């Protein structure tokens, strides 16, 4: 294996000019950029968005820009490795904090990328997906998979803020990202599927042959149920309690490209996961602590969000009892056949 490949400068200028004119380029000077040895070279850098710092900026957006002028009033969390304005937090994950004020609605649309939101604060917000009204309580995970109509509304009297997570960067890279606009949907007059069809673990609606479940049967994962399950695991398990959000009919991840994992750390508990080939974003539901990511230490508190690049060396320590949701692109990497975990 040759360590040093030939460079562009070693080639005569007339040859370089002729290649450029012909629309070709030599691979060897650039090959290590796209095929580095042993592990990918991450562009993504650790990002940490302190909620107390971002919240006032988002509320000011509510004063400056009416929702009609914004359609979705969002501050995008830009990956420091790609710079301010980057429409992504890692290579595969887009994150944005969205504000909806009392009485506002965000019009219906559907798009090719899939989205999920984690509710950060406020009562009375709701999302309508395919006619199903999904209440948005703090900590809830609400899905709007690709191709599904969705709009948002707000019946409460305080601002509602949520964190949007999308696989948008992949669709942009594929030149496959677009949205179709629609009118506000009529809402079915019944609670959402998490309260009706999937209210108990291990039970799904009985079906006649040939009548399959919807591809995305459950769009809302109430935080109250997740927290209760984590506490139960933490009471009897060893290590930290971790639960993956899954499609209750198939057992698969909730979205095609993105996965979501809820974590509970007791006060003083330390977590040092293996090096994973996927990138991660951590959203703090509650609690305080610190994390070291590739040698950089951050202190986090409730409602903060931070990211870690692919193959990051991650270490968390909870100061107080903490609940986090890890957003990751493991499902995409598994479908592409290269998800991997390496020992530290
Ligand atoms: Fe959307």
Say how many Å lie between the CA of residue 28 and the centre of ligand 1.
Answer: 42
Say how many Å lie between the CA of residue 71 and the centre of ligand 1.
Answer: 10
Q: What was the pLDDT predicted at 237?
A: 85
Each residue's pLDDT tens digit, 7-22: 999 999 999 999 999 9
Say how many Å lie between the CA of residue 18 and the centre of ligand 1.
Answer: 47
- pTM across the whole model: 0.96
Say how many Å lie between the CA of residue 107 and the centre of ligand 1.
Answer: 9
| Nearest in space to 253 (alpha carbons), one of 339, 311, 322 | 339
Say how many Å lie between the CA of residue 39 and the centre of ligand 1.
Answer: 34
In whole angstroms, give the CA distance from residue 305 to residue 150: 25
In whole angstroms, give the CA distance from residue 3 to residue 276: 26
Q: Which of 135-139, 182-186, 253-257 bottoms out in mean pLDDT, i.e. has the lowest?
A: 182-186
Helix (H, G, I), strand (E, B) or coil at 228: helix
In this prediction, residue 146 has a pLDDT band, given cuts at 50, 70 and 90, of very high
Say how many Å lie between the CA of residue 310 and the centre of ligand 1.
Answer: 26
Say how many Å lie between the CA of residue 110 and the centre of ligand 1.
Answer: 6
69 CB-near residues (< 8 Å, 6+ apart): none
Helical (H) or strand (E) element with 181: strand 179-181
Say how many Å lie between the CA of residue 247 and the centre of ligand 1.
Answer: 20
In whole angstroms, give the CA distance from residue 230 to residue 243: 7
Instruction: To the nearest 10°, report the CA torsion of 316, 322, 323, 325.
Output: -30
């Amino acid at each position: 294996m040759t360590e040093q490949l030939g460079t562009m400068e070693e080639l005569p200028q007339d040859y370089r000019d002729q290649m450029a004119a012909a629309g070709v380029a030599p691979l060897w000077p650039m090959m290590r950029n796209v095929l580095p040895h042993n592990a990918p070279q991450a562009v993504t850098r650790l990002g940490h968005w302190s909620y107390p710092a971002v919240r006032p900026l988002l509320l000011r957006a509510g004063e400056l820009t009416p929702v009609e002028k914004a359609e979705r009033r969002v501050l995008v969390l830009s990956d420091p490795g790609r710079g301010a304005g980057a429409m992504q937090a890692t290579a595969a994950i887009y994150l944005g904090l969205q504000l909806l004020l009392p009485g506002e609605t965000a019009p219906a649309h559907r798009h090719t990328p899939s989205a999920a939101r984690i509710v950060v604060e406020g009562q009375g917000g709701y999302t309508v997906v395919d006619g199903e009204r999904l209440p948005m309580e703090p900590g809830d995970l609400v899905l709007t998979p690709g191709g599904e109509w969705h709009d948002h509304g707000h019946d409460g009297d305080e601002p509602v803020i949520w964190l949007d997570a999308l696989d948008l960067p992949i669709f942009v890279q594929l030149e496959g990202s677009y949205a179709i606009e629609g009118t506000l949907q009529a809402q079915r007059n019944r609670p959402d599927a998490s309260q009706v069809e999937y209210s108990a673990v291990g039970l799904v609606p009985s079906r006649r042959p040939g009548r399959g479940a919807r591809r995305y049967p459950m769009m809302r994962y109430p935080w109250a149920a997740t927290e209760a399950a984590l506490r139960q695991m933490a009471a009897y398990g060893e290590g930290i309690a971790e639960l993956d959000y899954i499609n209750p009919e198939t057992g698969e991840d909730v979205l095609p490209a993105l996965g979501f994992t809820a974590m509970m750390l007791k006060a003083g508990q330390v977590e040092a996961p293996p090096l994973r080939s996927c990138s991660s974003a951590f959203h703090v539901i509650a609690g305080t602590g610190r994390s070291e990511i590739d040698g950089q230490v951050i202190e986090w508190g409730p409602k903060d969000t931070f990211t870690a690049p692919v193959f990051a060396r991650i270490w968390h320590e909870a100061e107080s009892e903490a609940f986090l949701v890890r957003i990751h692109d493991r499902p995409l990497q598994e479908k592409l056949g290269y998800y991997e975990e390496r020992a530290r």
